[in-house]
């Protein structure tokens, strides 16, 4: 007999989520904050010419180039000339700088070792640097508005007063987004900053799907419905590859020696340390993307740079130079981020302190070297696979003839962030269900997110 709808696994999971008051409240708070963020993306800066903005919006149906990437990270706020136009990327850039300083400057290294108090100091310095970046980036954005999205100051508005007030508004808008992300982390579910970025990407997906559907079906372009179905199948395969990359692990066996009441030692149950193929997750792509925005920022202030062929290629996400530099940055950042998140020496010391050892490997330094060797072997293919998925949209566009924003979802930053954050969020929800002794989201096993 067919199961009733109320007995279906998905329906039962939704009921279980609703039964947990704390989880229900956290999901509600997250949705409320997301709604506030999306509302702010449509609040236009005071002084912008609304007629010109409407004209640009009507002609911006085919997003391409670096502008569309910036627009995707901000959920459309960039081309809307919104108070949230700069989005969360200044904070990401500040985080990169602070993490680099933590690798090279002894003062920051000392703060990292101070535990919670050191983490608070580092977060404070990151916010200060974010404000500094915003005070530079906001005027750059305002000066480039006539060239990037084709809008300017409305007639009768004092340009100097507009520049000062809009810089303050843009800086305050980005810091407010950061505050919203922290509220999601504290009161909602998952990593708030990642969810903010994910929401901005998801906001562009319906429009991209509609554009591709219209071009294939209504205009009967390039194979019509058949090609659209092939694209969807390929899209699902890329999603599966991204999930495999983010969840792939190698388990290292660890044996713990225990002592009985009589003083004799014996081996306890064998446990496993999961070492991820891609321990850095999507952070290398986010870091690399932030670096790739730099040429555009400097090109607006120099005619020689603006007319340079190399700079033009670095500002074009479909060029071979842009993708080569982006891939190399992703590989480098993968090794860098793995090095600062995975500490083999500390892992070996923790095992030795708890009478643990890897079978066949001596405790202490040999164990640290063994873990470091495994991580090096895992990081190389992981970084190459991550770089390949990151530049896949270019090949998807050339193979299938995809135009506009839909090609950006065939890999790259968009897809990996979507998959990674969704896995994290589902893992958070599953953890609440398991703590309340409810079934998880999957009957085949637990979800492994970026943090689990």
Can you tell me the distance from the alpha carbon of 192 to that of 185, in angstroms, rounded to the nearest whole number? 5
**Domains in the chain, start-ordered, CATH in brackets?**
14-188 (1.10.3370.10), 223-452 (1.10.3370.10)
Q: What mean pLDDT do residues 209-237 have?
A: 74
**Band of the pLDDT at 62, cuts 50, 70, 90?**
very low
| Per-residue pLDDT tens digits for 149-183 | 666 677 778 888 888 999 999 999 999 999 999 99
Residues in Cβ contact with 116 at an 8 Å cutoff, skipping those fewer than 6 apart: none
Torsions phi, psi of 383, nearest 5? Answer: -70, -40
Query: What distances in angstroms separate CA 296 from CA 53, 72, 135, 292, 332, one per listed residue?
Result: 21, 16, 17, 8, 22
Can you tell me the distance from the alpha carbon of 257 to that of 87, in angstroms, rounded to the nearest whole number? 51
pLDDT > 90: percent of the chain: 9
Q: Do residues 122 and 112 touch, judged by C-beta distance below 8 A?
A: yes
pTM > 0.85: yes or no: no
* Average pLDDT over all residues of the chain: 77
Higher model confidence: residue 363 or residue 183?
183
Can you tell me the distance from the alpha carbon of 231 to that of 386, in angstroms, rounded to the nearest whole number? 21
In sign, the C-alpha dihedral spanning 219, 222, 228, 232 is negative
Burial classification of residue 228, based on how many CB atoms lie within 10 Å of its CB (0-12 exposed, 13-18 middle, 19 or more buried): middle
In 289-411, at which residue ranges do the beta strands (DSSP E only) sit?
356-357
Residues in Cβ contact with 276 at an 8 Å cutoff, skipping those fewer than 6 apart: 248, 249, 378, 382
Q: How many residues does the chain have?
A: 452
Q: Do residues 203 and 75 touch, judged by C-beta distance below 8 A?
A: yes
Question: Would you tell me how many other CB atoms lie within 10 Å of the CB of residue 237?
Answer: 11
Q: Which of 384, 344, 340, 379 minimizes the C-alpha distance to 365?
A: 344
Higher model confidence: residue 124 or residue 218?
124
Phi-psi sector, 189: left (phi>0), alpha (psi -120 to 50), beta: beta
Does the pLDDT at position 214 exceed 70? yes
**Band of the pLDDT at 56, cuts 50, 70, 90?**
low
Quote the pLDDT of residue 127.
Answer: 93
| Per-residue pLDDT tens digits for 295-354 | 766 665 566 666 677 777 777 777 788 888 888 988 988 888 888 778 888 888 888 887
Residues in Cβ contact with 112 at an 8 Å cutoff, skipping those fewer than 6 apart: 102, 118, 119, 122
Quote the pLDDT of residue 169.
Answer: 94
Q: What mean pLDDT do residues 90-104 have?
A: 82
Can you tell me the distance from the alpha carbon of 305 to that of 387, in angstroms, rounded to the nearest whole number? 27
Can you tell me the distance from the alpha carbon of 340 to that of 308, in angstroms, rounded to the nearest whole number? 36
Query: What distances in angstroms separate CA 71 from CA 79, 194, 198, 259, one per listed residue?
Result: 6, 16, 13, 60
Instruction: Give percent helix, percent strand, percent coil of the chain, each to the nearest 5.
Output: 70, 5, 25
**Band of the pLDDT at 135, cuts 50, 70, 90?**
very high
Quote the pLDDT of residue 180.
Answer: 93
């Amino acid at each position: 007999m067919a199961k009733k709808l109320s007995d279906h696994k998905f329906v039962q999971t939704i009921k279980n989520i609703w039964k947990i008051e704390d989880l229900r409240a956290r999901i509600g708070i997250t949705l409320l904050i997301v709604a506030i963020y999306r509302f702010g993306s449509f609040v236009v800066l005071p002084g912008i010419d609304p007629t010109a903005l409407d004209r640009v919006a009507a002609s911006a149906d085919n997003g391409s180039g670096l502008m569309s990437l910036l627009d995707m990270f901000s959920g459309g706020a960039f081309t809307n000339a919104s108070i949230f136009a700069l989005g969360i990327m200044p904070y990401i850039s500040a985080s990169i700088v602070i993490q680099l300083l933590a690798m090279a400057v002894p003062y920051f290294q000392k703060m990292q070792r101070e535990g919670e108090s050191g983490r608070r100091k580092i977060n404070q310095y990151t916010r200060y640097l974010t404000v500094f970046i915003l005070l530079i980036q906001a005027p750059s954005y305002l000066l480039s508005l006539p060239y990037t999205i084709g809008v300017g100051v409305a007639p009768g508005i004092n340009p100097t007063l507009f520049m000062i007030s809009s810089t303050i508004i843009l800086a305050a808008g980005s810091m407010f987004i950061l505050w919203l992300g922290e509220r999601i982390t504290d009161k909602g579910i998952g990593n708030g900053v990642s969810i903010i970025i994910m929401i901005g990407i998801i906001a562009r997906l319906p429009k991209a799907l509609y554009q591709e559907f219209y071009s294939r079906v209504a205009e009967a372009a390039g194979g019509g419905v058949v090609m659209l179905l092939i694209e969807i199948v390929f899209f699902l395969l890329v999603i599966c590859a991204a999930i495999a990359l983010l969840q792939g692990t190698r388990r290292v066996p660890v044996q713990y020696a225990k002592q009985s009441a009589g003083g004799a030692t014996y081996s306890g149950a064998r446990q496993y340390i999961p070492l991820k193929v891609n321990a850095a997750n999507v952070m290398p792509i986010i870091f690399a993307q932030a670096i790739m925005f730099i040429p555009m920022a400097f090109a607006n202030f120099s005619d020689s740079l603006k007319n340079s062929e190399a700079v033009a290629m670095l500002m074009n996400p479909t060029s071979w130079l842009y993708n080569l530099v982006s891939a190399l940055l992703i590989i480098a950042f993968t090794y860098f981020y793995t090095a600062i998140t995975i500490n083999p020496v500390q892992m070996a010391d923790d095992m030795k302190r708890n009478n643990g050892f890897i079978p066949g490997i001596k405790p202490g330094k040999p164990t640290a070297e063994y873990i470091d060797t495994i991580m090096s072997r895992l990081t190389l293919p992981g970084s190459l696979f991550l770089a390949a998925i990151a530049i896949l949209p270019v090949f998807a566009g050339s193979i299938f003839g995809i135009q506009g924003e839909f090609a950006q979802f065939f890999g790259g930053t968009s897809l990996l962030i979507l998959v990674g954050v969704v896995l994290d969020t589902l893992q958070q929800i599953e953890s609440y269900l398991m703590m309340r002794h409810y079934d998880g989201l999957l009957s085949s096993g637990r979800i492994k997110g970026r943090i689990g």
